[in-house]
Structure 1
Amino acid sequence: MRGLLIAVCGLDGSGKTTQIKMLEEWFVKNNLSVLLTRQPTDYYRQDNRVRQYLDSGECPDMQAIALLAAADRRWHMKTCVEPSINEGTNIITDRYLYSSLAYFKVRGLEPEYIKAINGDIRTPDVTVFLDLEPEITLKRVKNRDGKLTKYEERDPDMFRNIRAAFKQVLPNEALILDATQKPTDIHQLIIKEVENKLKLIEEVELYETR
């Protein structure tokens, strides 16, 4: 059976890392192959042009940054995500295309442009968005990173705009969860969705083999 693609999205500080770790442990406990990854990958994050914007807000051409992100994502999908899914490994990705759609929308680029340069990217089987008030996420990020916060994490209005943009670009079937709930309660809601998708894929593949 092919693996699932599970995208976990949300503002920094919304609890993504906690939920991803709990979900990974659930897969391992149930003897299901699982791989953690994230988008963009470190190749994008460590690019000097990208770091210049993330750290100081300097960017002579935002479209160029978007193209770097899209190229990174497409390469990652072709070389890692797609082969792993086809081999039966479940992929949990920290962020996905929807993060690019939301962040670049706030940076001044239309979502349709971002979709076009990303091309025929696979739709996740499960998309989770951990929803939290920007003021809370900003406080969490500052407590975590101190003076090392990125350029976009220094402005509460930026977080508000990105949160609003997420809700505009997420797929209709996205699981939007209140991130102020207990982590274990959020985890159970995610597991319920994952179990339903696993069962559906199993039924479809069984039907196709008849």
Structure 2
Amino acid sequence: MSESAGFNIEDLIKVSPLNGGGDEPRVEQLMGKLVRLQKVTLCFIQGKRSLEEGIKDMKSVSDSLQKELATLQTEAYQLEGIHKENEELCRKLQFQCEESEQDSVRQVEQNKKSEELLEQYRCEIQGFKLKHRKLRMKFENQLHQLMEQHKNLQSIFMPQRLPAEVESAENIKSQLLAAEELKLAQLRRLSEELEELKKQKQMGTTATETQEE
């Protein structure tokens, strides 16, 4: 049997006989049961409304959660795409960084070789300068000796031989001057090669700085 509000429903429909044993129920008893029945009905109606409102609220919350879940799934998909793009970008940057490091190593080696070659050319130029200085001193000494000999020969030999001696001295002088010009040309060539190497080194350094930036 169902019970509510301190009584059972059967009590509402069960009518007690009168004291005289008649079939008519007492009015007071029926009125009390009617009032209780109205209260129970009102409670049922309120409970039903509360239950319907609760179901409605739960449905609203469920819809909101479904929408939020869909939004979160969309954001998760977008974040996954961004993460893949960032990984790809990271791989590209790492590859470029490795290439830059390799280029830097090659540039350093090239600069080292250029410096060694420049130092070699400096030594060669210094050697040519020293050799040229010695040749010039030798030439001046020979010229001085030749002039002294010419003076001595002028007093010893006949005047008719003087033009031949002078011509010989001029030839020797021309040969020495030609040798000097040749050494000077070699010295200029080495200087130009040294300047060219300096320019190449500066260009390489500028290219390295540009890559690092």
Do the structures match in fold with TM over 0.5?
Answer: no
Structure number having the greater strand percentage: 1
TM-score for the superposition, normalised by structure 2: 0.18
TM-score for the superposition, normalised by structure 1: 0.18
Structure number having the greater helix percentage: 2
Which structure has more relative contact order (CA 8 Å, sep 6+)? It is 1
Structure of greater Rg: 2
